[in-house]
């Protein structure tokens, strides 16, 4: 259990990130310390070089002034001084004349370069020390070896190296602990979220992810997930309502149908009554079929229509057709259709479905909006900017603002319309058709009355109506 938990901690993104930073910082620290070490060595070497240079100049002057004797004296004097440099004056064949070191086994050959060479102090054979040495050839075949002990430098270098090691160790320790801490905190919050998500999956759609209030990326994520959950539960509620309504709106006519059949069976058995009952049964089943067709059509339109059946057509022609179709119906009802269309309002979609949608709107207007003192229905199709707006407006009682959003839903029938025939699908179908055309359905106040607007995006090319 503990191992599992620790393993999980190590696998977190936060920990991996900390680890990556740790490696980067270590490399950085290493580079800095190495560079400092190198620079220190450089400076020290330079100093030695300058000292050696000066010594050579001074001693070769002594030699040129007073010959070997004066040089020897000068070297002897210098050797005695505390913290002196290293000197060795030999003859051409290597016999020591004066100096404070043993002749090195691998003496540097001549040149102006200082060479790092191990040496042994005079009187301390067997113990090697590091030194920078330079061979200077004097006229007359004498060889003067001058240099400087650099044991100190190596001590310094060791100190630096140890400092690097120690700092890397602390860096690693602090980094790892910090990484684990951050990872642990993240993991804790993510675990809380995961637990919430599991509970939500298990069915508790009211659960929400915890938001810490820090406004960080996890909070943002949680907020977005919460918004998503909100939407899902809205949709679920909608779906539940729809299925309830479907059940109600299909079961009611099915019950009526069944009752009629039963009543006919129980009845007198006279042929006329049977025929009458059968006619009612057929009528009821036709009504059911209509509801089914409407539901299927909405589902189709919402799922997006087969794209090869979407074509460009003139919306104004459809509106004129439907208005012309309904004009006598309105007249019979004592109402009037006022139709205004602009020519060449091309849209892309399905002419048939738009026709059906406009039929639904006009039908609704005649049913619910043409009863007042002014039974006029305004039907129009016009261009508004980049959009085509098809409007059906009545001067009836209208719909209260609170109900406007709701009536687009499937099977929604407002109280005062329950008694009249209809499936409650007309507006949802019109809205689905609008969406199919990448447009929208708006329900507005006509003050007085109701105005329903199908707002569809216009397409550029106007098409002549294809019609056989």
Determine if 413 is a binding residue for other proteins (CB under 8 A): no
Provide the minimum distance between the beta carbon of 14 and other proteins in the complex, in angstroms, as a whole number. Answer: 53
Determine if 15 is a binding residue for other proteins (CB under 8 A): no
Largest CA distance in the chain: 161
Determine if 290 is a binding residue for other proteins (CB under 8 A): yes
Task: Quote the CA–CA distance of 330 and 83 in Å, as a whole number.
Answer: 124
Neighbouring CB atoms inside 10 A of 74's CB total: 21
Report residue 108 as tokens. Answer: 């540097």
Task: Quote the CA–CA distance of 2 and 6 in Å, as a whole number.
Answer: 6
**Which of 105, 200, 83, 89 is CA-nearest to residue 142?**
89
Q: Which is nearer to other proteins, 88 or 425 (CB)?
A: 425
Provide the minimum distance between the beta carbon of 327 and other proteins in the complex, in angstroms, as a whole number. Answer: 9
Q: Which is nearer to other proteins, 143 or 260 (CB)?
A: 260
Task: Quote the CA–CA distance of 45 and 39 in Å, as a whole number.
Answer: 10
Q: Candidates 266, 271, 418, 467: give the one binding other proteins (CB under 8 A).
A: 467
At residue 2, φ and ψ (nearest 5 deg) are -65, -45
340-369: which residues touch other proteins (CB under 8 A)? 350, 352-353, 355-356, 359, 363
Determine if 304 is a binding residue for other proteins (CB under 8 A): no
From 26-34, 172-180, 210-218, 320-328, span contacting other proteins (CB under 8 A): 320-328
Q: Candidates 86, 297, 365, 450: give the one binding other proteins (CB under 8 A).
A: 297
Determine if 296 is a binding residue for other proteins (CB under 8 A): yes
Determine if 420 is a binding residue for other proteins (CB under 8 A): no
**Which of 169, 216, 218, 162 is CA-nearest to residue 191?**
218
Determine if 165 is a binding residue for other proteins (CB under 8 A): no
Q: Which is nearer to other proteins, 461 or 468 (CB)?
A: 468
Determine if 295 is a binding residue for other proteins (CB under 8 A): no
Residue with token string 């560079």: 35
3-state secondary structure of 112: coil
Report residue 468 as tokens. Answer: 């056989």
* Long-range contacts formed by 277-286: CB under 8 A, 24+ apart: 281/257, 284/253, 284/256, 284/257, 284/260, 285/257
Determine if 293 is a binding residue for other proteins (CB under 8 A): yes
Provide the minimum distance between the beta carbon of 329 and other proteins in the complex, in angstroms, as a whole number. Answer: 5
H-helix or E-strand containing 160?
A: helix 151-201
Count of residues that bind other proteins according to CB under 8 A = 29
Q: With contact defined as beta carbons under 8 Å apart, do 171 and 181 qualify?
A: no
Q: Which is nearer to other proteins, 270 or 332 (CB)?
A: 332
Q: Which is nearer to other proteins, 226 or 333 (CB)?
A: 333
Find out whether the peptide bond into 448 is cis, omega within 30 degrees of 0.
yes
Residue with token string 């007359």: 140
Determine if 464 is a binding residue for other proteins (CB under 8 A): no
Provide the minimum distance between the beta carbon of 196 and other proteins in the complex, in angstroms, as a whole number. Answer: 43
Return residues touching other proteins (CB under 8 A).
279, 282, 285, 289-290, 293, 296-297, 300, 305-306, 308-309, 321, 324-326, 328-329, 332, 350, 352-353, 355-356, 359, 363, 467-468
């Amino acid at each position: 259990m503990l191992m599992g938990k620790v393993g999980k901690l190590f696998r977190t993104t936060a920990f991996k990130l900390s680890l990556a930073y740790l490696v980067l910082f270590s490399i950085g620290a290493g580079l800095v310390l190495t560079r400092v070490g190198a620079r220190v060595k450089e400076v020290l070497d330079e100093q030695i070089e300058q000292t050696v240079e000066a010594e050579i100049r001074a001693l070769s002057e002594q030699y040129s002034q007073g010959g070997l004797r004066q040089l020897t004296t000068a070297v002897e004097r210098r050797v005695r001084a505390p913290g002196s440099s290293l000197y060795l004056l030999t003859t051409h064949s290597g016999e020591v004349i004066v100096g404070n070191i043993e002749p090195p086994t691998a003496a540097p050959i001549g040149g102006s370069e200082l060479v790092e060479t191990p040496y042994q102090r005079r009187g301390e054979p067997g113990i090697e020390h590091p030194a920078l040495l330079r061979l200077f050839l004097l006229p007359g075949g004498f060889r003067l070896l001058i240099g400087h002990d650099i044991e100190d430098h190596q001590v310094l270098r060791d100190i630096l190296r140890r400092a690097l090691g120690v700092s890397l160790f602390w860096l690693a320790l602090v980094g790892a602990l910090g990484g684990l801490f951050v990872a642990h905190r993240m993991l804790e919050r993510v675990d809380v979220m995961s637990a919430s998500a599991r509970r939500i999956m298990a069915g508790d759609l009211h659960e929400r992810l915890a938001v810490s209030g820090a406004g960080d990326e996890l909070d943002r994520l949680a907020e977005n997930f919460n918004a998503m959950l909100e939407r899902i539960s809205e949709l679920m509620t909608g779906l539940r309502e729809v299925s309830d309504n479907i059940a109600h709106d299909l079961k009611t006519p099915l019950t009526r149908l069944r009752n009629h059949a039963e009543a006919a069976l129980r009845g007198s058995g006279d042929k006329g009554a049977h025929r009458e009952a059968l006619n009612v049964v057929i009528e009821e089943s036709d009504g059911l079929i209509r509801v089914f067709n409407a539901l299927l059509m909405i589902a189709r339109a919402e799922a997006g229509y087969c794209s090869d059946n979407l074509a460009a057509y003139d919306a104004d022609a459809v509106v004129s057709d439907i208005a012309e179709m309904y004009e006598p119906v309105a007249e019979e009802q004592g109402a009037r259709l006022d139709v205004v269309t602009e020519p060449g309002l091309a849209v892309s979609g399905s002419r048939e479905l738009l026709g059906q949608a406009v039929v639904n709107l006009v039908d609704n207007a005649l049913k619910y909006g043409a009863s007042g003192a002014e039974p006029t229905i305004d039907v129009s199709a016009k261009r508004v900017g980049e959009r085509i707006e098809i409007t059906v407006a009545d001067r009836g009682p209208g719909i209260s603002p609170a109900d406007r959003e709701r009536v687009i839903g499937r099977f929604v029938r407002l109280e005062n319309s329950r008694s009249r025939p209809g499936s409650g699908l007309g507006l949802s179908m019109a809205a689905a058709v609008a969406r199919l055309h990448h447009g929208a359905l708006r329900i507005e106040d006509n003050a007085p009355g109701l105005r329903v607007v199908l707002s569809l995006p216009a397409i550029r090319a106007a098409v002549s109506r294809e019609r056989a």
